[in-house]
Amino acid sequence: MSKIRKYLELCTGKAGVIDGVSPWVFPGASWATGNSKSVFEMGSVGLLGDGLAPVTENSLYDLASLTKLPAALALMKQLEDGLICLADEVAFFLPSFKSSPFGAVTLFALLTHTAPLTNIAGLYKRAHNKEEILEVIRSSEPRADSPGKVLYTCEAFILLGEIISAVDSSSLDEVIRRRVLEPLGMNDTCFNPPASLLDRIAPTEECPWRGHLVRGEVHDENAVVMGGVSGNAGLFSSAVDMSRLAAALLVSLESGGFLKKASAEIMTRNYTAGKGQGRGLGWMIAETGSSSGDFMSHRSFGHTGFTGTSLWIDPERKLYTLLLANRIYPSRNNVDDIYRARCIFGNLAVLEYGE
**DSSP per-residue letters across 12-24:** TTTT--BTTB---
Q: 15 or 351: whose pLDDT is higher?
A: 351
Residues 152 and 51 in one domain: no
Q: How far apart are CA 255 and CA 301, in angstroms?
A: 18
Structural domain count of the chain = 2
**What tens digit of pLDDT does each residue of 171-206 get?**
999 999 999 999 999 999 999 999 999 999 999 999
The CATH code of the domain that includes 100 is: 1.20.58
Q: How far apart are CA 69 and CA 75, in angstroms?
A: 10
Within a domain: residue 311? yes
What pLDDT, on a 0 to 100 scale, did the predictor assign at position 203? Answer: 98
Q: 20 or 84: whose pLDDT is higher?
A: 84
Q: How far apart are CA 339 and CA 327, in angstroms?
A: 10
What pLDDT, on a 0 to 100 scale, did the predictor assign at position 211? Answer: 95
Question: What is the pLDDT confidence band of residue 23, given thresholds at 50, 70 and 90?
Answer: confident
Question: What is the pLDDT confidence band of residue 148, given thresholds at 50, 70 and 90?
Answer: confident
What pLDDT, on a 0 to 100 scale, did the predictor assign at position 21? Answer: 58
Residues 78 and 47 in one domain: no
Question: What is the pLDDT confidence band of residue 285, given thresholds at 50, 70 and 90?
Answer: very high
Residues 264 and 297 in one domain: yes
What pLDDT, on a 0 to 100 scale, did the predictor assign at position 329? Answer: 95
Residues 166 and 308 in one domain: no
What pLDDT, on a 0 to 100 scale, did the predictor assign at position 128? Answer: 94
Within a domain: residue 195? no
What pLDDT, on a 0 to 100 scale, did the predictor assign at position 2? Answer: 95
**What tens digit of pLDDT does each residue of 81-125 get?**
999 999 999 999 999 999 999 999 999 999 999 999 999 999 999
How many helices and strands in the chain, by DSSP H and E? 11, 11
Q: What percent of the chain has pLDDT over 90?
A: 92
Within a domain: residue 185? no
Lay out the sheet containing 190-191: strands in order across.
Answer: 61-62, 235-237, 190-191
pTM of structure: 0.97
Mean pLDDT of 298-312: 97
| Amino acid present at 46 | G
Residues 244 and 315 in one domain: yes
Q: How far apart are CA 234 and CA 301, in angstroms?
A: 21
Mean pLDDT of 22-45: 95
Is the four-CA dihedral 288, 294, 300, 301 of positive or negative sign? Answer: negative
Question: What is the pLDDT confidence band of residue 147, given thresholds at 50, 70 and 90?
Answer: confident
Residues 77 and 172 in one domain: yes
Residues 61 and 115 in one domain: no
- The answer to whether 307 touches 328, Cβ cutoff 8 Å, is yes
Residues 12 and 155 in one domain: no
Q: 15 or 222: whose pLDDT is higher?
A: 222
Question: What is the pLDDT confidence band of residue 19, given thresholds at 50, 70 and 90?
Answer: low
Question: Where are the strands (E) in the chain, listed by range?
Answer: 28-34, 39-46, 61-62, 190-191, 206-207, 212-213, 235-237, 284-285, 301-305, 309-314, 319-325
What pLDDT, on a 0 to 100 scale, did the predictor assign at position 175? Answer: 98
Q: Which of 12, 3, 33 is nearest to 326 (CA)?
A: 12
Within a domain: residue 243? yes
Residues 95 and 49 in one domain: no
What pLDDT, on a 0 to 100 scale, did the predictor assign at position 338? Answer: 95
Mean pLDDT of 236-241: 98
Mean pLDDT of 70-77: 98
What pLDDT, on a 0 to 100 scale, did the predictor assign at position 140? Answer: 96
What pLDDT, on a 0 to 100 scale, did the predictor assign at position 333? Answer: 81
Within a domain: residue 45? yes
DSSP three-state, residue 349: helix
What pLDDT, on a 0 to 100 scale, did the predictor assign at position 67? Answer: 98
Question: What is the pLDDT confidence band of residue 18, given thresholds at 50, 70 and 90?
Answer: low
| Residue finishing a domain among 144, 177, 210 | 177
Burial of 266 (0-12, 13-18, 19+ CB in 10 A): middle
- The answer to whether 277 touches 29, Cβ cutoff 8 Å, is no
Mean pLDDT of the chain: 95
Q: How far apart are CA 36 and CA 26, in angstroms?
A: 29
- The answer to whether 278 touches 77, Cβ cutoff 8 Å, is no
Within a domain: residue 333? yes
What pLDDT, on a 0 to 100 scale, did the predictor assign at position 63? Answer: 98
Residues 124 and 13 in one domain: no
Question: What is the pLDDT confidence band of residue 146, given thresholds at 50, 70 and 90?
Answer: confident
What pLDDT, on a 0 to 100 scale, did the predictor assign at position 85? Answer: 98
Within a domain: residue 100? yes
Within a domain: residue 314? yes
| Amino acid present at 286 | A
Residues 35 and 82 in one domain: no
The CATH code of the domain that includes 342 is: 3.40.710.10
Residues 222 and 344 in one domain: yes
Phi and psi at residue 30, to the nearest 5°: -125, 155
Mean pLDDT of 66-83: 98
Domain coverage including residue 264: 3-65+202-353
